[in-house]
Structure 1
Amino acid sequence: MSENKFKLVECPRDAMQGLHDFVPTELKSEYLNLLLQAGFDTLDFGSFVSPKAIPQMADTAEVLASLDLSSTSTKLLAIVANLRGAEDAVKHEQINYLGFPFSISETFQQRNTNSSINQSLNTVEDMLSLCERNNKTAVVYLSMGFGNPYGDDWNDEIVEKWADVLVQKGVKILSLADTVGVSTPEKIKNILPKLISKFSNTEIGIHLHSTPAERFEKIEAAYNSGVKRIDCALKGFGGCPMAADDLTGNIATEDVISYLNSKGEKLNLNMGKWDEAIALSAQIFR
């Protein structure tokens, strides 16, 4: 059994952001409040990005105002894509973490945040400074961390190089993101242990996308690699709308829970509230 508490990051933002029909603010809030009561370590609940880019998240500030944080220890994470979004996010005291997608694919960085890798590195530096001044913590996602469909160079050394650059800049939480579902158990086992060993003072997490058939083997590979932080979403809903990965969704939270329970990990979740969230999800993900 693990001595360090396992951190499950439930990602309703990632699950909902690509939905075509706008989910009413009240329904979003009801769903998120159930997930807060379920007791995950962190809830990736919304994003401060252009409503033109992600219309579904246009009401993030409204949703935030209606969340009940009085009886939960769950921390809130919001995604930002530029400094303006970070400046908006840090105004909200309830938010603990600001997440930024830093792509090691030049093509995808332009596509996702309309900036180059070098410009994004400047954004990371500014965001770290902003977080420090406002008592927030930055979470940087190494996007396209397992390869990309654009033909940009990718290998383990490139991943490690950019992880090193970000850690040197002061990033404390780094999550390796499989934006288009190209990770394999072999890639996970090759890359993760190196990063966890080399950056022992940095929290290394994983944000995988997968087809349902491959979920368990990826979860197992991540766990056996020593990871203590996994992003997941109820029923595996969602993915990345900027990457057009229709066939791959998020890692299903229930699969992660089942696997970790089999390993004796104490998750301390309120499964009654979790079941209520699953029932309500049918009204959102049709």
Structure 2
Amino acid sequence: MVKIIECPRDAMQGISGFIDTAIKAAYINQLLEVGFDTIDFGSFVSPKAVPQMRDTEEVLSLLDLHHSKSKLLAIVANLRGAEDAMLFPEIDFLGFPLSVSETFQKRNTNASIQEALITVEEIQNRCEVAGKTMVVYLSMGFGNPYGDPYSAELVAEFVQKLNQLGIKIISLSDTVGVATPELITELFSVQVNAFPQIEFGAHLHSRPEKIEEKVSAALLGGCLRFDGALQGFGGCPMAEDDLVGNLPTESLIEFLESRGQQLELNKAELAEAMKLIPFVFNP
């Protein structure tokens, strides 16, 4: 069955005005009622780097997890953030942004790829002890605008390294919305077949008219895990295109169900979540 990871953290983090903590928590609590597999709810990173996420710990304390089947994922960018996240038993997954682009890795985590790989190994070792699962996002997984080396073979090399570290979930990320359907299908089909023990996800950014062809291509390649954000909020600021945002979850759901996927989501609760969006993302 296809898994949908709803990403309010990704949707909120680029909003310049600070969203009230109580509003964040109320929105995420409503998302928890929908039945998504996982909620990417916050991040343990420097408040200077991402001011919007400075209240993640407080938001977590306000979440009602008792009647939800959804799991929680928090993003971390270094070992210190990971250790902070591991203090909370409510958090199931720790997500780490690893890039195949040296330029973007330095911009995103202020570290080289080699340094980031060492950090991945350290966090993975601690996750195994703490009973957490690490999710590695391969940023710039479909190409980059910096002129850094890129190829499908390079992506395969990264996956091989992560497999050797015991990583069980890898999300291929189209950070700036450059992926073609052909490349999406190729990358997923090759990796899914080569590493059946790894769960591969798609974190795709897209212009609205390209959404269905990209999701269809990922399905064709064997991807069964998709990230989305209601109404497509979020995306990479470096894309320099307001239309290249996250996959709108409502569009993702509609398309997947049209392809016969049984998602087992509570549509009434989803409608209530949609009603809250103007109050959350009001500039």
Give the TM-score band, short-chain normalised.
Answer: over 0.9
**Counterparts of 2:125 and 2:108, CA distance in 1:** 23
Cα pair 1:83 1:127 within 8 Å, conserved: yes
Alignment of 1:74-223 (within 5 A): 74-223=70-219
- Percent identity over paired residues: 56
Q: Which letter maps to 2:247?
A: I
What is the Cα deviation at residue 156 of structure 1?
0.5
Aligned: 1:270 with 2:266: yes
- SS of corresponding position for 1:79: strand
Q: What is the Cα deviation at residue 245 of structure 1?
A: 5.2
Query: d(CA) in 2 for partners of 1:242 and 1:52?
Result: 18
Q: Deviations over 1:230-271 (max 9, x none)?
A: 001101111124665544100111111111111221111111
Distance (Å, rounded) in 1 between the aligned partners of 2:16 and 2:118: 33
How far apart, CA to CA, are the structure 2 residues paired with 1:78 and 1:242? 22
| Runs of 5+ unmatched residues, structure 2 | none
| Correspondence for 1:52 among 48, 53, 61 | 48
Which amino acid is the alignment partner of residue 72 of structure 1? S
Show structure 1 runs of 5+ residues with no match. Answer: none
Partners of 1:72 and 1:284 in 2: CA distance: 21
Task: Give me the whole-angstrom Cα distance separating, in 2, the residues matched to 1:242 and 1:61.
Answer: 28
Q: CA deviation at 1:132?
A: 0.9
Deviation at 1:68, TM superposition (A): 0.3
| Alpha-carbon distance change, 168 to 45 in structure 1, aligned in 2, over 3 angstroms | same
Q: Is the 8 A contact 2:94 2:135 kept in 1?
A: yes
Compared CA separation, residues 243 and 124, structure 1 to 2 (3 A) = farther
Question: Residues 235-254 of structure 1 correspond to what in structure 2 (within 5 A)?
Answer: 235-241=231-237, 246-254=242-250
Q: AA paired with 1:201?
A: Q
Shift of 1:94: 0.1
Task: Give the Cα–Cα distance (whole angstroms) in 2 for the partners of residues 33 and 84 of structure 1.
Answer: 27
Do the aligned residues in 1 keep the contact of 2:97 with 2:138 (CA within 8 Å)? yes
2:17 corresponds to which residue?
21
Report if aligned partners of 2:79, 2:123 keep a CA contact under 8 Å in 1.
yes
Q: What is the total number of aligned residue pairs between the two structures?
A: 282
| TM-score between the two structures when normalised by the length of structure 2 | 0.98
Deviation at 1:123, TM superposition (A): 0.4
2:177–2:239 CA contact under 8 A, matched in 1: no
Q: TM-score, normalised by structure 1?
A: 0.97
For residues 32 and 109 of structure 1, the distance between their equivalents in structure 2, rounded to whole angstroms, comes to: 29
User: In the TM superposition, what whole-angstrom CA distance separates every residue of 1:116-159 from its partner, at most 9, and x where no partner exists?
Assistant: 00000000000001111111000001110000010001011001
Are the counterparts in 1 of residues 176 and 238 from structure 2 also a CA contact under 8 Å?
no
In 2, distance between residues paired with 1:209 and 1:178?
Answer: 6
Measured after TM superposition, the shift of residue 103 of structure 1 is 0.3
Q: Distance in 1 between matches of 2:134 and 2:240?
A: 26
Which secondary structure state, in structure 2, belongs to the residue aligned with residue 208 of structure 1?
A: strand
